[in-house]
Amino acid sequence: MIDSSDGKETKQINLQKRFHYRGRFEQTLIYLGKLFRMFIYQNDWKALPMAALIAGLVTFVVGQNLYVTQEGTLTGCFALVCICVWNGFFNSIQVVCRERGVIKREHRAGLHITSYIAAHMIYQACLCAAQVLITIVICRIANITFPARGLVTNSFILDLAITLFLITYAADILSLMVSCMVNNTTTAMTVMPFLLIFQLLFSGGFFELKGPVTRVSDFTVSKWGLNSLCAIGNYNKLGMVTLWNTVFKFRNIEVEGEKPLLQAIKDLEQRNMVDEIVLRSGEYNQSADYVSTAANVTNCWFHLILFIVIFAVLAVLFLEFIDKDKR
Amino acid sequence: MVISLNLVFDVIEYALFSVGAFRVFKLCGEKGYYALIPGKRFFVLGDLSGRDEDGRMAGVLEVVSFLLSVFDGQFGIFNGDSRLAILFSIFSFTLMIMGIVYKMRVCAGVVRMFGVSRNWMLLWFFSPGLCLVIWGYGAHYDPVNLGKDEENAKVAGYAPAKIGGIEAQTAPSRSGLYINVRKRTVQEFLKKRYLLNNIVLTIPNGSLVLLLGGSGSGKTTLINAITGYEKADATIYLNGQDLYKNYDRLKYKVGMVPQQELLRLNDTVHNTLEDAAMLRLPAEFDRKQRHDRVVEVMQNLGLEGGKDGLVSKKSGGQKKRISIGMELITDPELFILDEPDSGLDGVIARELFERLRTIADSGKIVIAITHTPDRVIDLFDKIIVLARDANRVGRLAFYGSPEEGRAFFGKPTMESIVRSVNRKEEGGEGRADEFIEKYARMVAEAAGQEDGGKEAGAPADRREEDK
Q: Is the pLDDT of residue A12 over 50?
A: no
Q: How far apart are CA B334 and CA A86, in angstroms?
A: 47
Residues of chain B neighbouring A213 (CB-CB closer than 8 A): 83-84, 87
Look at B275 and A30 and tell me if their CB atoms are within 8 Å: yes
Q: Is the pLDDT of residue A231 over 60?
A: yes
Residue B80 confidence class, pLDDT cut points 50, 70, 90: low
Q: How deeply is B276 buried, as exposed, middle or buried, from its count of CB atoms within 10 A (0-12, 13-18, 19+)?
A: buried
Look at B240 and A13 and tell me if their CB atoms are within 8 Å: yes
Q: Is the pLDDT of residue B356 over 80?
A: yes
What are the tens digits of pLDDT across the range B12-25? 998 999 999 999 99
Confirm or reject contact between B256 and chain A (CB < 8 A).
Answer: yes
Q: Is the pLDDT of residue A174 over 90?
A: yes
Residue B166 confidence class, pLDDT cut points 50, 70, 90: low
Look at B279 and A323 and tell me if their CB atoms are within 8 Å: no
For chain B, give the mean pLDDT. 83
Whole-number pLDDT of residue B165:
60
Whole-number pLDDT of residue B2:
54
Residue B159 confidence class, pLDDT cut points 50, 70, 90: low
Q: How far apart are CA B98 and CA B19, in angstroms?
A: 24
Whole-number pLDDT of residue A163:
97
What are the tens digits of pLDDT across the range B82-107? 666 777 777 777 888 888 889 998 99
Residue B151 confidence class, pLDDT cut points 50, 70, 90: very low
Mean pLDDT of B272-301: 90
Q: Is the pLDDT of residue B145 over 60?
A: yes
Number of H helices, E strands in chain B: 16, 10
Q: How far apart are CA B51 and CA B43, in angstroms?
A: 9
Whole-number pLDDT of residue A15:
41
Mutation test of the interface with chain A: which of B248, B278, B284, B331, choosing the one with the most A Cβ atoms within 10 A? Answer: B278
Q: Are B251 and B364 in contact (CB under 8 A)?
A: no
Q: What H or E segment, with its residue span, contains residue B225?
A: helix B219-227
Confirm or reject contact between B84 and chain A (CB < 8 A).
Answer: yes
Pairs from B340-347 (Cβ < 8 Å, separation ≥ 24): B340/B257, B340/B368, B340/B370, B341/B370, B341/B372, B341/B376, B342/B259, B342/B371, B343/B316, B344/B316, B344/B317, B344/B320, B346/B375
Residue B457 confidence class, pLDDT cut points 50, 70, 90: very low
Q: Inter-axis angle of helices A185-201 and A221-232, to 10 degrees?
A: 50
Confirm or reject contact between B174 and chain A (CB < 8 A).
Answer: yes
Whole-number pLDDT of residue A326:
66
Q: Are B181 and B234 in contact (CB under 8 A)?
A: yes
What are the tens digits of pLDDT across the range A14-46? 444 567 888 899 999 999 998 988 887 777 788
Mean pLDDT of B184-211: 87
Would you say the ipTM is above 0.85? no
Mean pLDDT of A51-80: 88
In angstroms and rounded to an integer, the radius of gyration of the C-alpha atoms of chain A is 27
Q: How far apart are CA A96 and CA A120, in angstroms?
A: 9
The number of angstroms, rounded, from the C-alpha of B141 to the middle of its chain's C-alpha atoms is 32
Task: Give B394-405 as a DSSP string.
Answer: EEEEEEE-HHHH
Q: Is the pLDDT of residue B146 over 70?
A: no
Q: What H or E segment, with its residue span, contains residue B93?
A: helix B83-114
Residue B361 confidence class, pLDDT cut points 50, 70, 90: very high
Whole-number pLDDT of residue B315:
86
Q: Are A103 and A111 in contact (CB under 8 A)?
A: yes
Q: How far apart are CA A220 and CA A2, in angstroms?
A: 58
Residues of chain A neighbouring B268 (CB-CB closer than 8 A): 41
Q: Is the pLDDT of residue A322 over 90?
A: no
Whole-number pLDDT of residue B78:
61
Q: Which of B359, B332, B208 is nearest to A16 (CA)?
A: B332
Please state which CATH number belongs to domain B177-466: 3.40.50.300
Residue B156, CA atoms < 13 Å, CB-side half-sphere: 20
Q: Is the pLDDT of residue B161 over 70?
A: no
Mean pLDDT of A228-255: 89
What are the tens digits of pLDDT across the range B312-333? 888 888 888 899 899 889 888 9
Neighbours of B167 (CB within 10 A): 18
Q: Is the pLDDT of residue B455 over 50?
A: no
Whole-number pLDDT of residue A11:
37
Identity of the residue in B84, B87, B279 whose CB atom sits nearest the CB atom of A111: B279
What are the tens digits of pLDDT across the range B221-274? 999 899 888 888 999 999 888 999 888 888 888 998 888 888 888 888 999 999
pLDDT cut 70: percent of chain B above it: 86
Q: Which of B417, B440, B420, B418 is nearest to B430 (CA)?
A: B420
Q: Is the pLDDT of residue A170 over 70?
A: yes
In the three-class reduction of DSSP (H, G, I as helix; E, B as strand; rest coil), residue B57 is classed as helix
Look at A2 and B174 and tell me if their CB atoms are within 8 Å: yes
Mean pLDDT of A202-210: 78
Whole-number pLDDT of residue B170:
61
Identity of the residue in A33, A101, A213 whose CB atom sits nearest the CB atom of B262: A101
Whole-number pLDDT of residue B334:
93
Whole-number pLDDT of residue B162:
63
Number of cross-chain residue pairs from A and B with Cβ atoms under 8 Å apart: 98
Whole-number pLDDT of residue B115:
86
Residue B167 confidence class, pLDDT cut points 50, 70, 90: low
Confirm or reject contact between B86 and chain A (CB < 8 A).
Answer: no
Domain ranges of chain B: 5-152, 177-466
Whole-number pLDDT of residue A32:
93
Q: Is the pLDDT of residue B459 over 60?
A: no
In the three-class reduction of DSSP (H, G, I as helix; E, B as strand; rest coil), residue B454 is classed as coil
Beta strands in chain A (DSSP E): 2-3, 9-10
Residues of chain A neighbouring B284 (CB-CB closer than 8 A): 19-20
Q: Which of A136-150, B136-150, B153-167, B314-328 has the lowest mean pLDDT?
A: B153-167
Identity of the residue in B87, B229, B278 whose CB atom sits nearest the CB atom of A30: B278
Confirm or reject contact between A314 and chain B (CB < 8 A).
Answer: no
